[in-house]
Structures are given as structure tokens and as C-alpha cells.
Amino acid sequence: MDTQTHGSEVITGRSLGESCGIVALAESIPVGYRLVQSLRIIQHRGQESSGISINTGKVLKNYKGMGLVNEVFSGVKIEKDTGIGIGHIRYSTAGSSTLENAQPLYANIGKFEIAIGHNGEIVNALQLKRSLESKGYSFATNSDTEVVMKLLSIELSKTSDPVLSMKNTFKKLVGAYSLNLMINQRVFVARDPNGIRPLVVGTTEFGYGAASESVVFDQLNGKMIRDVRPGEIVEIKKNEFDSFMYNESSKTAHCMFEYVYFARPDSVVDGRSVFETRMELGRILARESPVKGADCVVAVPDSARTHAQGYAEESGIPLTEGLIKNRYVDRTFIMPEQAGRESELDIKLNPIRQLIEGKKVVLVDDSIIRGNTTRKIVKMLKKYGAKEVHLRIACPPVRFPCYLGIDMKTKDQFIAANRSLKEINAKLGADSLRYISLEGLIEATSLGKENLCLGCLNDKYPVRIGSH
Ligand code: SF4
């Protein structure tokens, strides 16, 4: 372990790879280990790096490293803190996968120590960075979060008022951001004016907190209170929280992919149960695209289990545990290198021959991005004797990049970009392929088209994407 910055320790570990997750706690007991536990609860949101910042009473102490929370924190002695802190797990969407970009980021600007964690992506980060560089400011990383840190530091030096400084900073940002921040002894969270990435506040057994997903409060013996509003800053205190709006004219645009794939099914995101949404996606898919005479419905585990359950329930076709997942091999969609993806997949899934052989199978997946996983699974099922494999996908074709915090950057990645349904299926090798309709997806979320981001489906983003 060596020292990275003042009050900051670097922990080495193994690197793996998704999006990002944040937590913030203010409790009547030290929170260091509780932050680590909270990050483990939302580990599915990011596997590249993990970190926490706590306040020891003298300094902000930052612990972070590359890898899963367990890998980074196993056996690490965390100093006693004053009961406030923030935590972050990361998968890089802006900035490369290096320890310097691991969060929370830390800065000491004399009167203030600041730590920041970020889930999302600042679309105008480069523009802001160039403008700051032209005024003589320099940057240590290529992360968009450092741009937020720099802007906030400049504002704090001018105003010495954390809330005013945050308001002034956030007004300059364009993009998706759910942030957690520690400024000396105070802990804040904030959400962009479109509420693109999720963020909730709640109680814990020993105080108050905020997290990317409500499941954190279930498991810390507390209760989710509400979503952080788009354009809102919330100060988390040990026995209450305070709200400061910095943008009242916001237009909600929650990421549809949180419901389809990212969030845990036991979370409630923006007032809507992820489990219930996925069940509904499955039910609608079954109504829109039935498979006559099918013997069984099989889910691509684990992410499509609930969608498949909904499909089976609506169609009356039995749900079968036809594919077994090796639970010690991590999710493949977000592995940074193509080579890694292929080899992980080979050992990740295996069909149960007795359940598949001679059967007409409805294979339900939550979404298709590159199609590598799907193609291999179809091939696998056929090899194990499936008579027919009919693919049913609970998300419309992903054809456009995400610039707002999900690692889907180039169009070339998408099997559905510039291909017809027939051409896509020719690559996947199924007997038939159907996607849920855009209307079906919107109906399943119950949020209304006007309250969702659907950019990667229809190329209409809630913010101006600029030069991309
Ligand atoms: S573009 Fe797609 S993945 Fe990105 S925020 Fe919008 S809905 Fe989510």
C-alpha cells in the first residue's frame, strides 16, 4: 500500500469490469466498513475499481484500488471515522481504466478537503477542461469527474460556501451525473437536471444515507425515503437530510436501461419496481411475439430471469432452468477487451441436456448489444439437441451509442446497427427473432415516453450531445 495523495491510500488488486455505483452515509457509528458493505450490495454496477472516503476528524482519508470490493478491501484496516463517508464502484465510461481514475477523487485546496464520486458522464467535459486549461489549470487524470472537481474547487475558493459552489458548478455541466461529495465534515449527493442515472435517499439502522439503488437501504436495515429529484442537491446528516434545488426547470429522462438490465430486480428506481417492470416487459413481449407450440421458456441467466418469468406467465408455456450459469464467472457484457469476453463466455453457461433435447425453446434475453453471447447460447442449445430456438428480446434493438454513463460507445459494437431483423438473425442463428416494441417498453415502465431516456434506441437524447 502506498500513498497517492495527502490523506489517500492506494490499494492494489485485480481488475475486472460495468457502469458505476455510489453510496453516502452519515451515521452515529463509524461508517468505513459499512460503506464497504454498501458497495458490495451494488457491486453489479461496477467491477473495475472500488473506493471509499471517510472523515477521520483530522483529514479525509481515501481508500481505493482496482477490482471488486472484496478484492480491494479484504484484510484492509480502515481507520476509525466520525460517522460520515462516501463510496464508489466504477466501470469506466469516460476516462481509462486506471487507478488514477478510480474514485472517489480527492483534492485538498487548503481550506477545504473534497472527495467526489460520480455515476454518469459529463458530455461537455472536454470543452470545460479546455477552457480551464487555457486559464492555466492542469489536470492529473483524463476523467470527467476531475473536471467537476476542478470547477468545484475554483468555486469553493471564491465563495467558501459548499452549497453555493455546487450550485454554480452544476449549472455548467451538461450530461448525466449522480454524484456523492464530501466537503470537509459535510456529505452531499446531487442528481443532474434530467435524473438520468438513479439516486435515492433513505434511512439506515444508524442514520441516513444515499445510494444508487434502494436495495442498499433494505440491507442496511433501513428504508428508502425517496428518489433524489432531478436538479437537486441533498445534504445527508446523521438525523435528517436537507434539500437544495439548483435547477427547477428540469425535464425528467430516466435511463430505460436501468429497468431493462442494470439495476437489481429488488430495487425501486424512480418510483417503479425493477422486478415488476421486468415482469411486465416479459408479459408484453409474450403478447406481441408469441411462439406457437413451444415446449419451454428459457432465460439467459441471470439478467433475463424476471423477463422470462413474465413471458412464461403470460404465455402459459412452462419456464425451465435450461441454462446453468457458473456463478463465479463475472458478467461478460462489460468486459473491456473482446478477447476476455470470448473466453469468459465459454465457461460461463452450460445447458441441461435433459431439459433442452428435442424441445422447441423460447429463449428470452433482456437485451442484445453485440450479439456474441446470444449467438453462442443459440449454438449451445442446438448442440444440446434443441429442436428449435426462438429468440425473444425484452428491449428494442440498441442501435445508437450511449454518451450518458453506460459503456456503449461506438455504433460498430451493436449487432442491430444498420441491420434488418432478418440480417441480425442470420448472425445469431435462431429459428426466429423478435424484439419488444418501443411502445411495449415504454408501457412496461409506466413512466411515459416523455420521462425516459431512449437515446440508444431512437437517437434522441435528453441533452445536446455536441460534437459526437
Ligand atoms: S442512451 Fe440508452 S443507455 Fe444511455 S442513458 Fe439513455 S437509455 Fe440509458
Domains and CATH numbers, the chain: 2-251 (3.60.20.10), 272-458 (3.40.50.2020)
pLDDT tens-digit readout, 212-246: 999 999 999 999 999 999 999 999 999 999 999 99
Q: What's the 456 CA to ligand 1 centre distance in angstroms?
A: 5
pTM to 2 decimal places: 0.91
Type of residue found at 357:
E
The answer to whether the bond into 302 is cis (omega within 30° of 0) is: yes
The one-digit pLDDT tens for each residue of the chain (468 residues) are 222 333 333 333 222 224 799 999 999 999 999 999 999 999 999 988 999 999 999 899 999 999 999 999 999 999 999 999 999 998 865 566 678 788 999 999 999 999 999 999 999 999 999 999 999 999 988 889 999 999 999 999 999 999 999 999 999 999 999 999 999 999 999 999 999 999 999 999 999 999 999 999 999 999 999 999 999 999 999 999 999 999 987 789 999 999 999 999 999 999 999 999 999 999 999 999 999 999 999 999 989 999 999 999 999 999 999 999 887 765 444 555 555 555 666 778 899 999 999 999 999 999 999 998 899 999 999 999 999 999 999 999 999 999 999 888 777 789 999 999 999 999 999 999 999 999 999 999 999 999 999 999 999 999 999 755
Q: Atom 4 (ligand 1): residue with closest C-alpha?
A: 402
Q: What's the 125 CA to ligand 1 centre distance in angstroms?
A: 18
Q: Which atom of ligand 1 is nearest to the CA of 197?
A: 5
Q: What's the 228 CA to ligand 1 centre distance in angstroms?
A: 19
Q: Which of 20, 93, 252, 257 to mutate to test the pocket of ligand 1 (most atoms within 8 A of CB)?
A: 257
Closest CA to 429 of 356, 375, 384, 360: 375
Q: Is 456 a catalytic residue?
A: no
DSSP at 260 = I
Q: Are 58 and 105 in contact (CB under 8 A)?
A: no
Q: Which residues does a 6 A CB cutoff place in the pocket of ligand 1?
A: 196, 255-257, 402, 404, 406, 453-456
Closest CA to 262 of 250, 283, 277: 277
Q: Which atom of ligand 1 is nearest to the CA of 401?
A: 1
Q: What's the 258 CA to ligand 1 centre distance in angstroms?
A: 9
Q: Atom 8 (ligand 1): residue with closest C-alpha?
A: 255
